[in-house]
Amino acid sequence: MIKSLTFSNFFSSQEMSSFNVNSVRSHFPILNRSNRGKSIAYLDNAATSQKPNSVIDCLSNYYRNTNSNVHRGIYELAEEAEAQYASARKIVANHCSVRENEIIFTRGTTEALNLLAHSFGRAQLSSGDVIALTEMEHHANIVPWQIIGKELGTTIEVIPILPDGSLDRDFLSNVLKQKKVRILSLCAISNTLGTINPLKEIIREAHQYETFVVVDGAQSAPHERLNLTELDCDFFCFSGHKVYGPMGIGVLYGKAELLEAMPPYQGGGDMIDQVSFSGTTFASSPQKFEAGTPNVADAIALGEALRFFAQYDLKEVQCHETALLESARHGLSDIPGFKEHGTVPGKAAVLSFSIDGAHPHDLASILDAEGIAIRTGHHCCQPLMGKLGVEATARASFAFYNTLEETERLVKATHKAVTLLR
Closest CA to 31 of 19, 44, 18: 44
Phi and psi dihedrals of 194, rounded to 5?
A: 80, 5
Closest CA to 289 of 308, 270, 312: 270
Contact 323, 261 (CB under 8 A): no
Could you check whether the bond before residue 286 is cis, i.e. omega within 30 degrees of 0?
yes
**What whole-number distance in Å separates Cα of residue 421 and Cα of residue 415?**
10
Q: Which listed residue (96, 237, 380, 381) is catalytic?
A: 380
Helices H, strands E: what count in the chain?
16, 17
Catalytic-residue membership of 380:
yes
Interhelix angle 76-96/296-310, rounded to 10 degrees, is: 40
Q: 3-state DSSP call for residue 297?
A: helix
Cβ-proximal residues to 82 (8 Å cutoff; 6+ apart), any chain? 70, 71, 73
The alpha carbon torsion through 57, 372, 357, 385 (nearest 10 deg) reads 10
Residues marked active site are found at 380
